[in-house]
Structure 1
Amino acid sequence: MIKRTLFFGNPAYLSTRNEQLVVNFPNEEKEEAAIPIEDLGYVVLEDPQITITTGLLMKLVQNKTAVITCDKQHLPCSLLQPMVGHTEQTERMRYQLNASLPLKKNLWQQTVSAKIYNQALHLESRGNNVLKMKRWSTDVKSGDTGNLEAVAAAHYFQNLFSEVEGFSRNQKGVPPNNLLNYGYAILRAVVARALVSSGMLPSIGIFHRNKYNAFCLADDIMEPYRIYVDAVVYDILETGCPIEELSKKLKTELLLIPALDVYIDGKWSPLMNAVSRTTSSLYDCFLGTNRKILFPEYTGIRLDE
């Protein structure tokens, strides 16, 4: 089942009744609205004047709904997740924490290889020559000691947004960096939610290990999925609409990312479901019953109507 994403960009009062999220708009003449909590996967709270009851927060967490709040720049800045995401959580975390360094280096090698290959497929779909990138995807060494991830990323973004004057991938760079930042933040929340549901700690990574980063593993596992954010942003640019400011229309487009259909393991699947398959396969690698993380292969994007 595809879970819904709700976005609140205006003042609202959010509460719960009869296992539903109930929305009231104190500053607008709108009727009360109600949505079944079981249908919700993500709730994005942007306006600082939103009021939400603890009763609703409790039910959202119990439903494993990711609650995302935004900062003054309207970018997602926090994520509320349950303390217990899986019935075998303690055991699963133990396997994760006990993972050997050679295993983590191998898992990172797989991740970087999948990311570069997907970047190559995306560029190829846009008419670029990608023989070099496809070769890089097979040349990644254990732990990516040659730093091919960075080499490929520089080449990829230089070619993908070559027509955008002054563009380089930088969080504070010129548009469409603002769109990429927003999309990646949503994707990060999707991955973190899936990791918790699979009983793992999003903060303990296989490569990323910044002590100030609470989502190191999420940042690792989302790498091959970034391509889908890039594809959505590219398509937005193709429409010619203004991108200097993150309008409501642009946010609506980017908030559809969890519901995009992606190609994984020989079939199409909503991205949020595909991520859950990826995190489940990651745990199997920690457990020792599998050696390969299951990642999607870029074959375009589509939204299941």
Structure 2
Amino acid sequence: MQRVVDLSSDGLHVAVHRGFLTVSKDREEMGRVALDDIGGVIAHAHGLTWSNTVFVRLSERAVPVVLCAANHAPVACVWPLQGNHLQGRRLNAQVDASRPLAKRIWRDIVVAKIRMQGAVLASVGAEPGAFDMLARKVRSGDPDNVEAQAARRYWQAFMGPDFRRDQDGEGVNALLNYGYTVLRAIISRAICAAGLHPSIGLHHSNRANAFALADDLMEPYRPIVDRAVYNLVQDGLREVSPKAKTALVTLTALDLPAPQGMSPLHMQRDLHSNWRRFLIRRTWAWICLRHLTR
């Protein structure tokens, strides 16, 4: 299993030594991980120092380094320039993709997300029927914003009528932020490895968002994080503790269906060189949709 390295303790120094990522404090080594075993690095500690070689060696392996704020939400990411030997051709195809195509694929992503939300609600004993109906209402580009309608129903049914999703909030919201950060790192790495550019999205197009495509493709998988956070809350964990982070990081090894059979989430990055076939046939949204509608 590829590991997500979480750097959350203050005053750490991160370096590379003989094929390993090393973490030390006060010149005493605290741990090491083989570079080839790393799927992503998440940093949200104060006083963290790095060797420049760290970024070079991780970028050579298409491993993203995600920098987070105090609320565990990502604010920046180090992305490798050379993610694939066909990168130039794939980037051109990505840029040339038509707007109608992007809108149709965004519809499929929204449908997959809504159906996954319904499946998660059913798993905790809530009524999921409305979500199948909402999924049927989604049109190309989701001009009616059915995604937002589903979100309002989903959070109240899932976390209770008093819950409000707040990206700057503490407690459960901070747990969700951390889980989404892990998911974003996984998908960002898959995008880099495919030779695509994460800033060229399908729906998310904020100029300040360098990872619009990752934010698009992770949507159907957010409910998986939500379910994991629900389990933590049921166990009495409502803060981003080491135990909670360990539970959320293990989502990278969650087995999901793929065209070749069951595959861990972190390995679902077999992306076609053709941009259209990649988006239509091999996105995580398509895999998720196929699984939920069997």
TM-score by length of 1: 0.86
2:18 alignment partner in structure 1: 18
How far, CA to CA, are the matches of 2:278 and 2:39 in structure 1?
A: 29
CA RMSD of aligned residues (A): 2.4
Contact 2:41 2:66 in 1 (8 A): yes
Post-superposition shift, 1:289?
Answer: 7.9
Q: Distance in 2 between matches of 1:16 and 1:256?
A: 24
Aligned-residue offset at 1:147: 1.4
State the partner residue of 2:152: 154
Alignment deviations for residues 150-176 of structure 1 (CA, whole Å, 9 cap, x no partner) = 1111111110011xx621222234641
Structure 2 residue 250 is matched with structure 1 residue 252: no
**Structure 1: distance between partners of 2:41 and 2:205:** 28
Q: Corresponding residue for 1:83?
A: 81
Q: CA deviation at 1:94?
A: 0.7
DSSP-derived class of the 2:141 partner: helix
AA aligned to 1:257 is: L
Q: 1:174 to 1:287 in 2, by over 3 A?
A: closer
CA distance in 1 between counterparts of 2:278 and 2:52 reads: 40
3-state SS of the aligned residue for 1:256? helix
Any conservation in 1 of the 2:69–2:75 contact (CA below 8 Å)?
Answer: yes
After TM superposition, list the pairs within 5 Å mapping 1:126-141 onto structure 2: 126-141=124-139
| Percent identity (aligned) | 33
Matched residues in 2 for 1:75 and 1:142: separation? 30
Q: Superposed, which structure 2 residues align to 1:38-57 within 5 Å? A: 38-57=36-55
Report the Cα distance in structure 1 between the residues aligned to 2:169 and 2:80, rounded to whole angstroms.
Answer: 34
Query: Equivalent residue for 1:225?
Result: 221
1:224 deviates by: 0.4
Gaps of 5+ in 1: 301-305
Instruction: For 2:25, give the aligned amino acid.
Output: F
Range moving further from structure 2, 186-195 or 85-94: 186-195
> Which structure's relative contact order is higher, taking Cα pairs within 8 Å and 6+ residues apart?
2
- Aligned counterpart in structure 2 of residue 263 of structure 1, from 254, 257, 272: 257
Cα distance in 2 between the residues matched to 1:62 and 1:17:
15
Q: Distance in 2 between matches of 1:68 and 1:295?
A: 26
By how many angstroms is 1:31 displaced?
5.0
Q: Normalising by structure 2, what TM-score?
A: 0.89
Q: Is the 8 A contact 2:84 2:195 kept in 1?
A: yes
Change (3 A) 1:128 1:58: same
Residue ranges of structure 2 left out of the alignment (5+ in a row): none
Mapping of residues 187-206 of structure 1, within 5 Å: 187-206=183-202
Q: Contact 1:76–1:186 (CA<8 Å) still a contact in 2?
A: no
